[in-house]
Amino acid sequence: MPRYFLEVSYRGTNYSGFQLQKNAITIQSEIEKAFKTLQRDEVCMTGSSRTDAGVHSLQNFLHFDYEKEIHPHFIYKVNSILPVDIVIKNLVKVKPVAHCRFDAVSREYKYYVYRHKNPFLKDRAYYYPYKLDIVKMEQAAEMIRSYQDFTSFSKRRTQVKSFICKIEESKWVKENNGLVYYIKADRFLRGMVRALVATMLLVGRDKISIKDFKTIIEQKDCTKANFATPARGLFLIAVNYEENYFSQ
C-alpha cells in the first residue's frame, strides 16, 4: 500500500500536544479530521516527534498508508479546512517501509527567552527578566555535549527503555534582544529540553554552580533538575533524515 509523509507546522498554544489523546484536541486529531473531511475516508497516522501541550513546531512529520487516489489539490484543500494555527507544508510519497519516527536521524529544538517585556512574544517565548551570567550558561550548555545519560532531565512516568541521547550541538545564542537555547540530538526525552533550560537558567542566576549542574547530570535523578519553564518558549524546528531520503 502506498505510504505518504506529511510535513506540518503549528502553533501549539491551543492544543493538548501533538499526538492523539482520548477526549483531547491535538495537532494529529485536527489533521486526521481534516483528511477525513477532504478524502471522505479515515486514516491512522503516525507521528515523528511527540511535542507536549503548548509546544510549537516549524517542522514535524506524520506518515500514513492510503491506497485510494489523493485529491489533486490536497495541500491547498486540507489547509483550507485546518485551523489557522496548523499548516500542511508538503506531501511526499515514500517507500512502503519508510517510517517518519524511526528513520529520523536527528531532531533540533530551540527554546526562546526574552528579558524585556514584549506583548508580542508572550505566547512564543519565556519572559525571564533577571540578570544572567551568559558565560556560565554557555559553559553549562557545552558541558551537556559530554554526556549521554539524561535521566535527570526526563519527566517521571515515561515509558522509554533508555535515557541515552547523543547530543550533536548544545549552545546559547543571542537573538533579537533575547536568548535562544539550541540543541540537536538523535532523540529527546519527555520534558528534556525545558528541564535543561530551566536548570541552566539557575546557573545563569548563580542559584547553582557549574559544579552543581555537573552533579545534577551525573546523579541521574529527575528530582534534582528544575522543570519550571513554560511550554510556550519551546519550538521543534527540524526533524532530519539521511541525505536523499525523500528521493529514494
Q: What is the pLDDT of residues 145-157, one digit of tens each?
A: 999 999 999 987 7
Per-residue confidence (pLDDT) for residue 38, from 0 to 100? 97
229, pLDDT greater than 90: yes
β-pairing, 3-10 vs 56-65, is antiparallel
Per-residue confidence (pLDDT) for residue 195, from 0 to 100? 97
Confidence of residue 166 (pLDDT cuts 50, 70, 90): very high
Topology alike, domains 3-103 and 106-238: yes
Q: Which three cell numbers stand for residue 208?
A: 547553582
Q: What span, in angstroms and rounded, lies between the C-alpha atoms of 185 and 167?
A: 4
**Average confidence (pLDDT) over 209-234:** 96
**Residue 73 CA to chain centroid, in angstroms?**
29
Per-residue confidence (pLDDT) for residue 180, from 0 to 100? 98
Catalytic (active site) residue 52: yes
Domain boundaries, the chain: 3-103, 106-238
Contact between 49 and 190 (Cβ < 8 Å): no
CATH number, span 106-238: 3.30.70.660
Higher per-residue confidence, 157 vs 102: 102
- Location of C-alpha cell 515514500: 94
248, pLDDT greater than 70: no
Is 3.30.160.20 the CATH number for 3-103?
A: no
The pTM of the full predicted model, rounded to 2 decimals, is 0.95
Contact between 102 and 26 (Cβ < 8 Å): no
Helix (H, G, I), strand (E, B) or coil at 36: helix
The residue from 41, 52, 186, 221 that is catalytic is 52
- Cα-based distances in Å from 104 to 60, 61, 161, 245: 11, 10, 18, 10
123, pLDDT greater than 80: yes
